[in-house]
Amino acid sequence: MLETILLIISVILIAIVLLQSNKASDAGQIISGGNATLFQKQKERGVELLITRLTMALGLAFFVIAFILFLK
């Protein structure tokens, strides 16, 4: 039962991470100096905030269930 839940969470987590905005390309512009607003505080809003929170919740659930399965 827990193995099935872990599998479902992992697939959803992969899909959610792929839906997130491309922050890695922004970080790559540090060397070229192309993004002056990289380190400014920018608040996530709407769907972006929901996806970020959902990613954190699913990641935490993944690790908790994986730890429980490890202890069995």
38 burial class (0-12, 13-18, 19+ CB within 10 angstroms)? middle
C-alpha dist (Å) from residue 66 to 4, 9, 19, 39, 52: 11, 11, 24, 34, 21
Contact call for residues 6 and 69 (beta carbons, < 8 A): yes
User: What are the residue ranges spanned by the domains of the chain?
Assistant: 1-16+46-72
35 pLDDT above the threshold of 80: no
Report the predicted TM-score, pTM, of the whole model to 2 decimal places: 0.72
The band of 1, judged by pLDDT with boundaries at 50, 70 and 90, is very high
DSSP letter, residue 22: -
List the one residue out of 8, 14, 39, 16 whose CA is nearest residue 26. 39
